[in-house]
Amino acid sequence: MVVRPLGAAAWQAGHGGAVRGRPYDQSVTDIPTHWTVRHFSQANPFGPGCDSVPALLRRLADSVEDLGPVEVQDVVISSEMTEHGAWRSGTVYFHLPEDDEDD
């Protein structure tokens, strides 16, 4: 699994950005104006234990493994307060290998 940085600044750093104090010297037009990312969201089952971060991370990791070879771009963990505590959910943003074929 390869982790891809998020955002234009990270993109610049990987594509000729500032190196050892030298300014970025490529045209601003080299920066993509848009890109597409896939995502899925999951939550722990509602009720006792819905606040378990380890359970949520295992659930997300199992789903990423089920996808096969993907590049994970970002993982966001959220929570909503309930009578059982913080109900945890997570969103995984990713790319499939064939998504890069258009580059």
Question: What per-residue confidence (pLDDT) applies to 39?
Answer: 96
Structure tokens of 100?
């890069």
Among candidate residues 98, 92, 101, the one with its CA nearest the CA of residue 73: 92
21-64 tens-digit pLDDT? 445 455 555 666 667 899 999 999 999 999 999 999 999 999 99
Task: Please spell the DSSP secondary structure of the chain, one letter per residue.
Answer: -EEPP-SHHHHHHHTT--BTTBPP-S-GGGS-S----EEEEEEPPSSTTTT-HHHHHHHHHHHHHHH-S-EEEEEEEEEEEETTEEEEEEEEEEE-GGGGGG-
Banded model confidence at residue 11, pLDDT cuts 50, 70, 90: very low
**What's 92's DSSP letter?**
E
Does residue 17 form part of some domain? no
Does residue 80 form part of some domain? yes
Mean pLDDT score of the chain: 78
Does residue 73 form part of some domain? yes
Bridge partner list, 76: 91
Does residue 91 form part of some domain? yes
Dist CA 87 CA 52 (whole Å) = 8
Question: What per-residue confidence (pLDDT) applies to 86?
Answer: 94
Its pTM stands at: 0.65
Which residue segment(s) compose the domain that 73 sits in?
A: 41-103
Does residue 2 form part of some domain? no
The structural domain count of the chain equals 1
Does residue 35 form part of some domain? no
